[in-house]
Amino acid sequence: MNMKLRRLICGCAALAMLASAASCSSDKDNTASSGSANASGSAADSAESAADTSGEYQRQDIPLDPVTETLSGFDLTPVLGEDSAVPEDFEFSSQGEDGSLKGSASVMDKNFVGEFEGEGFAVVPTENDAVEFEVELPAEGSYDIIAVCATDSAGANMAVTVDGEALTTFQVNTTEFGENKAEKVLVGEGKHTIGLYPQSSSLYLDSLTIKASEKIDPSAFEVNRTLCNPNATDETKRLYNFMCDAYGKYIISGQYSPDNNGTEAREFSQILKNFDEYPAIMGLDLIEASPSRVANGSSGGGEKAVAAAKDWYLNQNGIVTMCWHWNAPEPYIGKNGASWWEGFYSESTDINLSKILNGEDQEGYDLLIRDIDAIANYLKELDDYHVPILWRPLHEGGGDPKWNNPWFWWGSSGAEAYKELWKLMYDRLTNYHEINNLIWVWNGQNLDYYPGDEYVDIVGYDVYADAGDYSSKKWYYDYTKDAPSENKIVAMTENGTLFDPDAAMNDGTRWSYFATWNGEFTIKDMQLSEEYTSFDMWEKIYKHDRVLTLSELPDLKSYPLDTQKYLEEHPDEAPKE
């Protein structure tokens, strides 16, 4: 998320938590009263018995009712893409200089970026400029847009627009004229204006060709179905198996709930009011459970997150994802006069993670362990109550890979220290605390920060696109899926502006799920916000037959552990050919 925006949000959240500390404390038993249709006992009982006098959570053995596995009618038919009527031999070609130039775009005939064809090439300097082509397409379907082009900086992103709307992006990897392309762009039949503009670095376009695309290969979405924790609980395996089954066939909707307010959050009530649906995934944050925030007066954040998670999964059959804006330990916050509640930013902390992890700063190491142990208390309670979690710690560690600018302290000491911290947390939570309900989600944003396949189940990227940019965000998807050495689920783990599900399904950018951040990205003036995503796009997404909302999830508690085995025993439920 944009740093200034996130600072504002988190600052306001911290002040709000302080102002309501007393009410949070008095409401704890009420908000933690969610029970389970499957687990005996109640969260209210847990709130009274979870901790001893030292504050450490005491594990509970909460039995489950016997499970009768069922797919709940969930359709597992592969989705190959729209049946395309585009003739295989269709081709449109034009020289770059023959396009319509917008803004300060111009034509040049100097060969400083390589040899060109024709009389010159189009130069598009900035995102406020463009080169456009009038094209008549024979049918609705998928098209590859092939640009012979160059840029000043290899790896620069270019946007493709259709009739003025951004549909997708592609990466230009050539600093001299070469072929680069946007694949499987869904466009309707008839006359259209196809445009290109740079999102970073200038675009030099020699020629443009448009051809029919090949179909999606469903094997691209076959992933490793074994969780990295060999002791994962059955309910965790069931959720992960469902997500593996859904991957490539559906996009699961998600929304973050501010201050861990659950369905009482304005974001959730407005989505329900407008679309008669809840998102399938609820996002929560353990930020206020960070010991350095508790030491400064924060209260109730962890308890509220646990209560919301229990209610969402146990009572609503929803999926829970959790992040942790880890406020650094007390000795390391307040750099440059920063406030304590800014203690997760690199610029506001003075912490050398490398020294902590190599033994030079023993106090720092002990404090990191203290903090992880504090968070473990909440995760252990959820584990005991059989609530699986998409656990997303140390997020955005690498910052933006194009600029190598980590903005959170856990990434600012470099990739090696970050990976060691990830492994330390994994070992502490999994092996020491024996927490077995976590599906480990990594979105370090930079491939150098990937800790290894054996510590990660799902890979993701946080994408905050420009307002109205509904493209599939294919570059981020393709970049992220290359992090692991084996196929893993790829998710849009946070987002501002939403994306068009038709574009994503059609071009193969099939994010497992999205999780829209709270605040201005969802709500403005107490209503559903159109500042980033139009109401029409909101509605399209929440009504789309390939976007799963809460009511469309199968029963997660009884989903098969092994789908193939289940279908062999229930052949009548096998996918349609």
- Would you list the domain boundaries of the chain? 91-212, 234-573
Give me the catalytic one of 347, 396, 416, 520. Answer: 396
Give me the catalytic one of 56, 494, 531, 573. Answer: 494
Contact 151, 98 (CB under 8 A): no
Contact 560, 238 (CB under 8 A): yes
What's the count of helices (H) and strands (E) in the chain, helices before strands? 14, 23
Say which residue the tokens 């933006």 belong to. 400
Asked whether the whole model's pTM tops 0.75, one would answer yes
Give 3-state DSSP helix, strand, coil % of the chain, rounded to 5.
35, 25, 40
Say whether 82 is catalytic: no
Q: Give the DSSP letter string of 44-83.
A: HHHHHHSB-TTSPBPP----B-------TT--------PP
What span, in angstroms and rounded, lies between the C-alpha atoms of 308 and 440?
Answer: 20
Contact 273, 247 (CB under 8 A): no
Say whether 494 is catalytic: yes
CATH number assigned to the domain covering 91-212: 2.60.120.260
Q: How does pLDDT run along the chain (577 residues), one tens digit per residue?
A: 443 334 334 444 444 433 333 333 333 233 332 333 345 333 333 333 344 435 789 999 999 999 999 999 999 998 876 556 899 999 999 999 999 999 999 999 999 999 999 999 999 999 999 999 999 999 998 999 999 999 999 989 899 999 998 878 898 999 999 999 999 898 999 999 999 999 989 999 999 999 999 888 889 999 999 999 999 999 999 999 999 999 999 999 999 999 999 999 999 999 999 999 999 999 999 999 999 999 999 988 899 999 999 999 999 999 999 999 999 999 999 999 999 999 999 999 999 999 999 999 999 999 999 999 999 999 999 999 999 999 999 999 999 887 889 999 999 999 999 999 999 999 999 999 999 999 999 999 999 999 999 999 999 999 999 999 998 999 899 999 999 999 999 999 999 999 999 999 988 999 999 999 999 999 999 999 999 999 999 999 999 999 999 999 999 999 999 999 999 999 999 887 6
The yes or no reply on domain 234-573 and CATH 3.20.20.80 is yes
Q: Which residues contact 44 (CB under 8 A, 6 or more apart)?
A: 29, 32, 33
Tell me the HSE value of 110 on the side-chain side, using a 13 A CA sphere. 3
What span, in angstroms and rounded, lies between the C-alpha atoms of 520 and 530?
Answer: 9
What span, in angstroms and rounded, lies between the C-alpha atoms of 172 and 299?
Answer: 49
